Structure 1
Amino acid sequence: MNLTGNDLKTIGFTQGKAIGFALDIIKKEYAALKQEDQLILLRQVLENPSAFIDDEKLSPIVKELLKPADDTIALEESGKSYKIYGAEAIEEGALNQMAIAMRLPVTVAGALMPDAHQGYGLPIGGVLATKNAVIPYGVGVDIGCRMCMTIYDLPPAILEEKKDEFKKMLVNNTKFGTATFKKPKDHEVLERTEFKELSIVRQMKDRAWQQIGSSGGGNHFVEFGIVEILSPVNEFNLPVGEYIALLSHSGSRGLGANIARHYTQIAMDNCKLPQEAKHLAWLDLDTEAGQEYWLAMNLAGDYASACHHQIHERMAIGLRETPLAMIENHHNFAWKEKDILGNDIIVHRKGATPAGEGVLGIIPGSMASPGFIVRGKGLAASINSASHGAGRLMSRTKAKQTILPGHVNKVLTQAGVELIGSGLDEAPMAYKDIHQVMEHQKDLVEVLGSFMPKIVRMCGDERFKEVD
C-alpha cells in the first residue's frame, strides 16, 4: 500500500506542494522501503530540511518546505552568539537546532548544556532567553518534569540486607506509563481554579485525578540508592557520610502533554515561521493565549511536584521513617527572570536545570552511574543553568537495535544495581559519561554530594532477559 497525503499530515506535513513532491519521490525512489521506514525518512526531512538540501533525490521536497509563505516571520540573517558547554560530545542536530533558535527575532540569549541532544524545536539541554514571549516547544511536552530526592537516616547496608522488602515497596507504591492507582490520593492542586477557567485544562481534570502520584514511561524512574554527603557545609545540616535516599524522576503526565500540544498548535497557527523553525513558534505574553499558556504551564509544574510528593509520602510510610531532607528541582519549564542589566526575560530550560547562585538541584547519571546533588554558582554565560542529566549518547531506536540484553545485565551486576522494569533504550550505555558531563560544567555548579542507584524501578514489569 502506498503512502497517502493523510499519512504525511500525521507526521507534520501541511497541505501544499511538498506533500505531492514527497509522495512522488517516495514512490519512485524509495518503494523498496517499508512504509514505516518511508515515514521515518520523511519525518527526518521535515524536522531538519537543511540537512537534505543537497540530497539528489530529496532536495525537491526540501526546496518546497523552505519556501517562505507571504505571512512568514523571517529569521534574523545571523544568529546571536551563545555559550556551548562540552561541544565535542554534542551531536550536530542539536547544534543546528540551537543555531536556528538563536535567529528568532524574540531571542535575547542562549546556552547549550553538555548533555544536549536533538529534540523538537529547541534541543534537549537548550536554554533560551526571549523577550516577552514563551515558546511551548521551548518548554517541551513533559511540562515541569523534575527530580525529587528524600534522604533518610538509615545505614546503606540495609538496601542489600532487606533488598526484597525494598523491591516490594517500589512495586506496590509506584505506577508507570498507563498504569494508575485504583484509589488515587487527593491533593489540593486538583482544586486549582485553572481547572475551571481554562478549557484544555478543564478537559483534563479527570485524567489528572486518575494519574496523580504516578510516573511516566521512558526515562522516568523511582529508585532507592546511597547518598554520600561530600561537603560539610550544606543546606541540609547533614554530617559528611552515607545515607539511604529515594530519588524520583517524572513530569506532568497527560495533563502537561495535552497543554503542550494545544498551545503549540495555537502558536504555530498564529506565528508563522520558516519550516526549519516552525516548532519554535511563540506566544506573546501580552496576548490572551500567552497568558493562558503561562497559567496552564505553572499548573502543570505544580501538578508534577504533587505527583512526586505523593510518591515520597507513600515510601516514607512504608519505611516508617521521616526524611532528613527533601531536594527538588525541575526542567522543561519557562521562568520570568532578569538579565545582568536588569531587563525582564523569559528563560526556557528544556532539559536543563536551574543553577542560579545558591540554587540546589539534582543531576542524575544513568541507572548504573552516580548522580550529583549540586548548588548553582549563578554563571551569567550559562543563563544560570546546568545539565539535567548525563544526556543521551544514542537514540532510543539505535539503542534497541545495537545493545544486547546480556551486556546490560553484566553492567548492572558489576554496578550492584537491581533493576525492575525498563527497556534497552534506557540501558546505561545509551547515555553519556556523567563524569565528563560534570567536568564540562564545573564552573556552573558545586557538588555537595553523590547518589548511587541500587534498586531501580522504571516502566515495565520485568528487567532485561537473555535472548536465546
Structure 2
Amino acid sequence: MNGKHITKLGFEKRAVKLALAAAEAREEAGLSRAEILDELQAVQANPQAYLTGGVYADLAAELTAQGAARQARKSAELRPTPLPYRVWGDDLIEPGARSQMDVAMQLPISRAGALMPDAHVGYGLPIGGVLATEDAVIPYGVGVDIGCSMRLSVLPLNPESLSTDEARKLLLKHTRFGAGVSFEKAFRGDHEVLHEQTWREQPLLRHLYDKAAEQIGTSGSGNHFVEFGTLTLPGDDLGLPAGEYLAILSHSGSRGFGAQVANHYTKLAQALHPSLDPAARKLAWLPLDSEEGQAYWQAMNLAGRYALANHDLIHARLARALGVQPLASVGNSHNLAWQQRVEGHDLIVHRKGATPAEQGQLGLIPGSMADPGFVVRGLGNPGALASASHGAGRQMGRKAAANTLAKRDVQAYLKERGVTLIGGGIDEAPQAYKRIEDVLERQDDLVDVVARFTPRVVRMDTGSEDV
C-alpha cells in the first residue's frame, strides 16, 4: 500500500498522509489492499461517521475541515453578473457608485436592490444604496455611522420671533460638534437608552458604554448639523394648520460608539470570508443565525436607538431654552438594516444613506447648509424596496471641494439665501452637493412632498477650512 493508491482516490495532500498512516495500521491488522481502499472510500464519502474515534478519526477530521473550507470558498464566490436592480436619477449618479452597487448585487446573499438619485461612492455599499439580503447582515452595508438620522421639531412660534443673533447664541450654548466632544459633566444629558440592559450583554458594549454616556446629546463632524429655519406647511399633513412655523432640523448619528461597533464587526465578517473577492471585501457579511451575526444585530439596533436619543436631547434643550413644547415631530434613520417582507420573503434590507418610505410613512430629505430640506410621505414603491434618497448627495468629494471651491463664492451663496453659518467647512459647501430639487424630481414615484424647510441659522463642526 502506498501514496499513489490513495492519491488516485482523490485525497488532497494532508489527507493523503493521514490516510496512508491509517492504511498501514489496517494492513498490520491483516486487511487486504482492496478492503482498505473500500474503507478509505467510505470515510471519504461520509467523514462525519468516523469522527467519534478509531483509526480513521484523524483522517475524518481533516476531510471534514477540507469540506467546510471548500463550502466556505464556494459560499463566498460572487455571481458572474449582478442581479438586476432599479436606479433612480441615473443621470445624477457617478459611475463609481454604479460599480459598487453592481458588486453588491453579485454577492451570493443578495436578493434585491435599488440605487437612489443621491447615490455616490462610499465604503462597500454606495451611499444611497439599498440592498436586501437573505439570512445575513453586512456591517458596511449599514455604514460606519450606524443609525445616522434626521429629526424635525415644529415649534409654536412665528419664524420671525427668533432673531438671528438669539438663534446663534442658542445653538452655541446648547449644541456640541466634532470627534470626541461632549458637554461638560454638569450639563450632560441623561436618556433612557443609557439605562438599557443591552449595554451589559456584550463585552464590546460594556467597554463602549462610558464613551456613549459621555457623548450623549452631541453631534459628529462632516455633514452633521443643527439648524433653525422656517417650515412652510401648505396643508394639514402634520396635524397642524397650514402656515409658516419656526422649526429645528438636525442630522446626527451614533458618534464614536457606533463607529467602533461598525469597525469591530466588519473585521469579524472579513475574517469569516477570507477568500471573498477583494472587490467585495468591504461587503463581508455575518450570517444572522451565527453568534457574531446576532451580536452585531443587537449592537446595531442599540446604536440606532442611541442616535435617536441624541436628537431627543438636542431638540429638548433648544425647545426648553425657548420655553416651548414642539407641536409636531418627524424623524427617520437612514443608516440601518431592517427585517422586511420583500416579494413574499423575509429579508434584511440595508439602507446606507436611504430614507425608509413605506406607504404613508413620513420622512426627511435635507438639502445642504443653504438649500431647503423637505418633509416627505412615502409611496411604498416596491422597486425601491420602499425607500427614497436621504439627501441631495455629493457631486464633489471632500478633498475636491476643499481644493477647488473658493470661500468667497460659498459665502456669497449663503448670503444670497439669507443663511448664517456657524462652523462648517468648504468641504460641506452647497456647491459640493447635487441640487436637491433635481434629486426630488427623479423620485416623484417614491415620495410626495409634504412641507419645505428653509434654513436660517446653521451650526456644523469646523471643517478643514471654515467658510
Same topology, TM > 0.5: yes
Q: Which runs of 5+ in 2 are unaligned?
A: 1-69
Aligned 8 A contact 1:420 1:463 in 2? no
| Cα distance in 1 between the residues matched to 2:240 and 2:198 | 39
| Cα distance in 2 between the residues matched to 1:335 and 1:146 | 14
Aligned 8 A contact 1:128 1:349 in 2? yes
Pairing partner for 2:233 from 225, 229, 235: 229
> What amino acid is aligned across from residue 427 of structure 2 in structure 1?
D
Which position in structure 2 is the counterpart of 1:175?
Answer: 176
TM-fit CA distance, 1:166: 1.1
Aligned 8 A contact 2:426 2:464 in 1? no
Which position in structure 1 is the counterpart of 2:250?
Answer: 248
Write out aligned runs for 1:442-453 (5 A): 442-453=444-455
Q: Which runs of 5+ in 1 are unaligned?
A: 1-67
> What amino acid is aligned across from residue 374 of structure 1 in structure 2?
V
TM-fit CA distance, 1:241: 1.1
Q: Identify which range, 190-199 or 144-153, moves more after superposition.
A: 190-199
Q: What is the Cα-based RMSD across aligned positions, in Å?
A: 1.6
| Cα distance in 2 between the residues matched to 1:197 and 1:168 | 41
> What amino acid is aligned across from residue 290 of structure 1 in structure 2?
G
- The change in CA–CA distance for 1:453 and 1:462 in structure 2 (over 3 A counts) is farther
Which position in structure 2 is the counterpart of 1:204?
Answer: 208
| Cα distance in 1 between the residues matched to 2:133 and 2:254 | 24
Which position in structure 1 is the counterpart of 2:191?
Answer: 187
Aligned 8 A contact 2:132 2:349 in 1? yes
TM-score (norm 2): 0.82
Which position in structure 2 is the counterpart of 1:239?
Answer: 241
Give the SS at the match of 1:412.
helix
Pairing partner for 2:282 from 279, 285, 294: 279
Which position in structure 2 is the counterpart of 1:317?
Answer: 320
> What amino acid is aligned across from residue 75 of structure 1 in structure 2?
L
Which position in structure 2 is the counterpart of 1:372?
Answer: 374
Which position in structure 1 is the counterpart of 2:329?
Answer: 326
Pairing partner for 2:104 from 101, 104, 128: 101
Write out aligned runs for 1:7-406 (5 A): 71=73, 73-159=76-162, 162-177=163-178, 178-183=180-185, 184-232=188-236, 234=237, 236-272=238-274, 273-340=276-343, 342-406=344-408
TM-fit CA distance, 1:460: 2.4
- The change in CA–CA distance for 1:344 and 1:69 in structure 2 (over 3 A counts) is closer
TM-fit CA distance, 1:89: 1.1
Structure 1 stretches of 4+ moved >2 Å:
68-72, 460-465
| Cα distance in 2 between the residues matched to 1:278 and 1:69 | 18
Which position in structure 2 is the counterpart of 1:53?
Answer: none
Aligned 8 A contact 1:334 1:348 in 2? yes
- The change in CA–CA distance for 1:461 and 1:288 in structure 2 (over 3 A counts) is closer
| Cα distance in 1 between the residues matched to 2:449 and 2:137 | 31
Aligned 8 A contact 1:149 1:328 in 2? yes
Aligned 8 A contact 2:226 2:250 in 1? yes
Which position in structure 2 is the counterpart of 1:8?
Answer: none
| Cα distance in 1 between the residues matched to 2:173 and 2:106 | 49
Count of aligned pairs between the two proteins: 393
Which position in structure 2 is the counterpart of 1:4?
Answer: none
Q: Identify which range, 454-463 or 181-190, moves more after superposition.
A: 454-463
| Residue-by-residue CA offset, 1:231-285 (whole Å, 9 max, x unaligned) | 33x1x21111111100010100011000000000000000231000111100000
> What amino acid is aligned across from residue 207 of structure 2 in structure 1?
Q
Aligned 8 A contact 1:175 1:214 in 2? yes
> What amino acid is aligned across from residue 194 of structure 2 in structure 1?
L
TM-fit CA distance, 1:151: 0.3
| Cα distance in 2 between the residues matched to 1:460 and 1:180 | 15
| Cα distance in 2 between the residues matched to 1:134 and 1:70 | 17
| Cα distance in 1 between the residues matched to 2:373 and 2:300 | 27
> What amino acid is aligned across from residue 316 of structure 1 in structure 2?
A
Give the SS at the match of 1:222.
strand
TM-fit CA distance, 1:70: 9.2
| Cα distance in 2 between the residues matched to 1:463 and 1:132 | 44
TM-fit CA distance, 1:188: 1.5
Give the SS at the match of 1:195.
helix
| Residue-by-residue CA offset, 1:68-122 (whole Å, 9 max, x unaligned) | 9994721011111000000111011100000000011110000000000000100
> What amino acid is aligned across from residue 138 of structure 1 in structure 2?
G
| Cα distance in 1 between the residues matched to 2:465 and 2:413 | 13
TM-score (norm 1): 0.82
Give the SS at the match of 1:157.
helix
Which position in structure 2 is the counterpart of 1:459?
Answer: 461
Higher Cα radius of gyration: 2
Which position in structure 1 is the counterpart of 2:15?
Answer: none
| Cα distance in 2 between the residues matched to 1:418 and 1:339 | 44
| Cα distance in 1 between the residues matched to 2:442 and 2:273 | 36
Of all paired residues, the percent bearing the same amino acid is 53
TM-fit CA distance, 1:464: 4.0
| Cα distance in 2 between the residues matched to 1:168 and 1:70 | 57
